[in-house]
Structure 1
Amino acid sequence: MTSPTKPAKRKQSTLDAPVSPPPLRRKVQSTTTRMSSMVTSRPIYTSADMFSETAVASFFTPASQKPPEKVVWQERAPNDDTPNTLLVGKYEPANDPVSTSNEHESRKKKVAAFDFDSTLIETASGKKFASNSQDWKWWHPSVPEKLRKLYLEDGYRIVAVSNQGGVSLKPNTKAPKAHTSKVASFKEKVSVVFNQLDIPMSIYAATEKDIFRKPRTGMWAEVLDDYDIQPDLNQCIFVGDAGGRHAEGRKPKDFSCSDRNFAENIGIKFQTPEEFFLGEAPRPFTRTIEPADYLPESAAEAIAPFVKKNDIDIVIFCGSPGAGKSTFYWKYLKPLGYARVNQDVLKTRDKCLKVAGEYLSEKKSVVVDNTNADIEVRSKWIDLATKHSIPIRCVLFTAAAQICEHNDAVRALNSTMNPEERQILPGIAFSSFKGRYKPPKVSEGFQDITEIEFKVSLLLAVDGLLSQVR
């Protein structure tokens, strides 16, 4: 696994809100709602009883008489040129029982990170998603005590690291009230949870599918930067419910393996909530992608997989988005003198056909770097080859859907692999290809078909990271 890649520094906003420890390196863009000052007790399960008399009293208390807010919020962007997508909340108790410099130094080595939903808390209503900020309870009664022990006795820095796709930081002009309500509700819920724990703690919430979203390591890089941590990875741990576990008895299978992959990318221990809080034995699991499966088995695989046979011809690629087609062209066919046409660049198939025809008229061989999923589309290129009385060959990319989605994400987030600055594709791009795909056959009119199985040595598109979109 590679080391976490730290996102580029971002532009800072104009509002200062220092927090200690550690001092914030960026400017605060929003503060917690008033709900964080309402909670003084620490009941075990639900939070509904906290929003009655105490809430009313707090509402009518003049601002000058209220205690200072304990959660400070920031919004951050992956870089200077993109919108804010990461929501960060930091809680500092009024009296931190662990305040010596030696104690805080120990927390620069050991980090205990947790997913938020379905790991620290779950809905009180039993619904998949919370109805409002009060719809929560501890995942298990032992959670608060276990977290406090980690901080107070074991010397860990405690953070929550969560994908929050339902919370968007983008302004919604069509439903501004609903947009504001979701963000406010999330902040209120976090404030109540952190107030009950009453230990220094932060939450990092990724709201978009970018470098911050697990299993990518952007949020971990933010944690290390914020707290000036040089972690001992052998002593760090991440706990989350997305472990790729198989169904067992009445227990359903996990919806993904993103939490386990997140820990793997960082290089730290992973446990599920059942293993960490309840001491249960690990269940069998399967990763969506196992990078080792795509490493070359021998030096023979480094041999160029494509040989030019004709003075002038057309080579069309056939394969899913993210299968490595463009990388294959740049590495193997461009050095052979092939010109490239690509619909992402030229926008329409007709324009691709026109430009390809111009190259052929100039006696240049052409690569058609598109998905070319079905017989009807491929027939257009076969007709063009026939018109110019030249052979047409096909290169078929056989990478499975999971590795294609992974490669697409890695490409979009890695500038050296993405000279055309492509964005992460939506899921429909992959399902659409699957629905249209018909395997190419020589009988369609091809001189031959070369199959390319995805390997890192061929396409250089994995970079050792488990970065699928889930």
Structure 2
Amino acid sequence: MVHPAKPVKRKQSTLDAPVSPPPLRRKVQSTTTPNAVASFFTPTSQKPPEKIIWQERAPNDDTPSTLLVGKYEAAHDSVPALNQLEDKKQKVAAFDFDSTLIETASGKKFASDSQDWKWWHPSVPATLRKLYLEDGYKLVVISNQGGVSLKPDTKAPKAHTSKVASFKAKVSAVFNQLDLPISIYAATEKDLYRKPRTGMWTELLDDYDIQPDLEQCIFVGDAGGRHADGGKPKDFSCSDRNFAQNVGIKFQTPEEFFLQEPPRPFTRTLEPSDYLPDSAAEATTPFTKKQDLDVVILCGSPGAGKSTFYWKQLEPLGYARVNQDILKTKRDRCIKVAGEYLKEGKSVVIDNTNADAEVRGKWVELAAKHSVPIRCVWFTAAPQICEHNNVVRALNNAMNPEERTILPTIAFRTFSSRYKQPKLSEGFQDITEIDFKFDGTEAERAIWLRHWT
């Protein structure tokens, strides 16, 4: 029977930086048993109750549940010596769900209901049985399920309940047909559980209480960043490949793993290592204070490094900071606060995005009113690295002293649509250009170098 969901709170943890393992060699043989065939053709009404336990988990004690976990217990007559087998398994074969193990039977991009599925390829169930029964692997599904939400929907409670129920029913149908011990981890929000982030991997290691041999583990998924080739479309993302690299295990696409097709060329949207400085000096751009009293305005996207620049370079020079997010107020109030600092004889830094000349003009007017020069520090980081920094900051407490939350994608699009490069003609004494390079401790660097978006 299907047990009711049990909320379980989990605290965030981080993994050590991974090392990529050598490739594995695999042969696919049919291992379908008579019991599995009989189960396939048995009407649902005549089958025994399914054995799947569901839980809902949260990243920590203070947040709602966002991870859905299901554990299927196979019938003992279909898996010989079940307990003995399980005790010896220290290798993990993990798979994405949609477009990897299954696809829609209707041909639609998204399933119309819980019955709209078929195996991605006829060889999939036999391959999984061989992995479990002969090769000694634990089987796990690790999937992003953004269309399923565990948050109560007060406006449409029935629709919300039906989406969760439909997903559980589809998973149960797939696992019932496979009839092997297998678990699924489904991330429903853009938090630490969502691939390529490693939260789901951490959960499964806790659940199984193992430290597997990473060189023998594998993750199979369709989001490999592949280019369009031979009539095949490009992949929608590289999140599966990046996830495997984050946890340090081998990655293959379904075509490579199940069909033994050769790999296709791929490209990652972002390589964090490209933004490491060649030297300690390159990580920072020294800023010199030219006047006893002045205004410095920062200009750049969220996540471009503005606040870090303030704390490491401007705060030690005695600049008072005005930030609209920190003050939790409107721009007019920020202008008033900045004016009060100037009256007290304190130089001021305006730590906001300041995307266009109209907004920047308000601060030029303030500086003119107080007869002080105004300088601009311009941050040129590309959108991809800004979004990466945004997530790293929000999901790692040690790197988030101001407790910022993840900004939605629209925040970056809004900035991009408004952005105009700052010019000296706007009234600035000078403009200092900052190209982003990571600047942090070795521990922070290990975290930052992972794939987060």
Q: Which secondary structure does the structure 1 equivalent of 2:71 belong to?
A: strand
| Structure 1 residues 208 and 197, CA gap change in structure 2 (3 angstroms) | same
Q: CA deviation at 1:316?
A: 0.8
- CA distance in structure 1 between the aligned counterparts of 2:189 and 2:54, rounded to whole angstroms: 17
TM-score by length of 2: 0.88
Among residues 128, 137, 149, which one is paired with 2:118 in the alignment? 137
Once the two structures are TM-superposed, the CA of residue 94 in structure 1 deviates from its matched residue by 1.7
Q: 1:331 to 1:99 in 2, by over 3 A?
A: farther
The alpha-carbon deviation at position 106 of structure 1 amounts to 3.4
CA apart distance, 1:274 = 0.8
Which one of the candidate residues 269, 275, 282 is aligned to 2:250?
269
> Against the structure 1 CA distance between its residues 284 and 327, is the aligned structure 2 distance closer, same or farther, given a 3 Å change threshold?
same
Corresponding position of 1:231:
212
- 2:372 matched residue in structure 1: 390
Q: Does the residue aligned with 1:73 lie in a helix, a strand or coil?
A: strand
1:323 paired with 2:308, answer no
Task: Tell me which residue corresponds to 2:179.
Answer: 198
CA offset at residue 420 of structure 1? Answer: 2.2
Say whether residues 1:369 and 2:351 are aligned partners: yes
2-structure distance, mates of 1:317, 1:367:
7
**In structure 2, do the counterparts of structure 1 residues 82 and 458 end up closer, same or farther at CA, with 3 Å as the change threshold?**
closer
Give 1:230's aligned amino acid.
Q
Does the CA-based 8 Å contact 2:284-2:439 persist in structure 1?
Answer: no
Q: 1:450 maps to which residue?
A: 432
* Partner Cα distance (1:394, 1:73) in 2: 54
* The one of 378, 401, 405 aligned to 2:360: 378
* Counterpart contact for 2:223–2:239, Cα < 8 Å: yes
What residue identity is the alignment partner of 2:297? Answer: I
For 1:295 and 1:375, the matched residues in 2 are separated by 31
Change in CA separation of 1:458 and 1:211 when aligned onto 2, cut-off 3 Å: closer
Distance 1:250 1:180, change over 3 A: same
Using the alignment, how far apart are the partners of 2:107 and 2:246 within structure 1?
A: 32
In structure 2, the partner of 1:420 is 402
Question: Could you tell me which amino acid in structure 1 is paired with residue 107 of structure 2?
Answer: G
Give the AA of the match of 1:418.
N
Q: Which residue matches 2:31?
A: none
Give SS of 2:251's match: strand
Question: What is aligned with 1:41?
Answer: 39
Give secondary structure in 1 for the equivalent of 2:433: strand
Distance of 1:218 and 1:7 partners within structure 2: 10
Aligned partners of 2:50 and 2:176 also within 8 Å: no
Distance 1:146 1:411, change over 3 A: same
Give me the identity figure in percent: 74
Distance 2:98 2:266 in 1: 20
What is the CA–CA distance in structure 1 between the aligned matches of 2:351 and 2:281, rounded to whole Å? 26
On the 8 A contact 1:314/1:385 being kept in 2, the answer is: yes
1:18 is matched with none
Residue pairs, 1:458-469, within 5 angstroms: 463-468=448-453
Matched residue SS, 2:196: coil
Q: 1:237 & 1:433 partners in 2: Cα distance?
A: 39
Instruction: Report what 2:422 is aligned to.
Output: 440
Matched, 1:8 2:8: no
Structure 2 CA distance, aligned partners of 1:416 and 1:348? Answer: 29
CA distance in 1, matches of 2:334, 2:192: 33
Alignment of 1:119-138 (within 5 A): 119-138=100-119
Contact 1:247 1:254 in 2 (8 A): yes
Q: Quick one: which of 165, 169, 178 aligns to 2:150?
A: 169
Q: Which amino acid aligns with 1:42?
A: F
The CA distance in 1 between the partners of 2:80 and 2:349, in whole Å, is: 64
C-alpha separation between the residues in 2 aligned to 1:9 and 1:465? 16
Is residue 2:406 matched to residue 1:408? no
Could you say what secondary structure the match of 1:456 adopts? coil
Q: Aligned residue for 1:357?
A: 339
Match of residue 266 from structure 2: 285
Relative to structure 1, the CA distance from residue 71 to residue 388 in structure 2 (aligned partners, 3 Å threshold; closer, same or farther) is same
Residue 7 of structure 1: CA displacement? 5.5
Where in structure 2 are the equivalents of 1:173-252 lying within 5 Å? 173-252=154-233
How big is the shift at 1:449? 1.1
Q: What is the Cα-based RMSD across aligned positions, in Å?
A: 2.1
| Matched-pair contact (CA < 8 Å) for 1:317–1:396 | yes
Structure 1 residue 104 displacement after superposition: 2.7
1:329 and 1:265 map into 2 onto residues whose CA distance is: 31
**Distance in 1 between the 2:68 and 2:330 partners?**
39
Deviation, structure 1 residue 140: 0.7
The letter of the residue matching 1:466 is H
3-state secondary structure, aligned to 2:130: helix
SS at match of 2:140: strand
Q: Deviations along 1:380-408, whole A, 9 cap, x unmatched?
A: 00111111111111111111111111111
- Residue 210 of structure 1 aligns with an amino acid whose one-letter code is D
Unaligned runs of 5+ in 2: 1-8, 14-36
SS in 1 for 2:377: strand
Q: CA shift at 1:297, angstroms?
A: 1.4
Q: Which residue of 1 aligns with 2:4?
A: none
CA distance in structure 2 between the partners assigned to 1:256 and 1:410 by the alignment: 19
Give the distance between the partners of 2:288 and 2:432, measured in 1 at CA. 10
Tell me the residue number matched to 2:21.
Answer: none
Q: Which residue of 1 aligns with 2:34?
A: none
Gaps of 5+ in 1: 1-5, 11-38, 44-49, 59-65
Does the CA contact (< 8 Å) of 1:328 and 1:458 recur in 2?
Answer: no
TM-score, normalising length: structure 1: 0.85
1:77 aligns with 2:58: yes
State how many pairs are aligned.
Answer: 417
Q: Indicate if the aligned counterparts of 2:12 and 2:199 stay in contact, CA closer than 8 A.
A: no
On the 8 A contact 1:116/1:161 being kept in 2, the answer is yes
Distance 1:158 1:198 in 2: 12
Structure 1 counterpart of 2:310, one-letter code = Y
What's the counterpart of residue 34 of structure 1?
Answer: none
| Maintained 8 Å contact 2:10/2:57 | no
- Alignment correspondent of 2:23: none
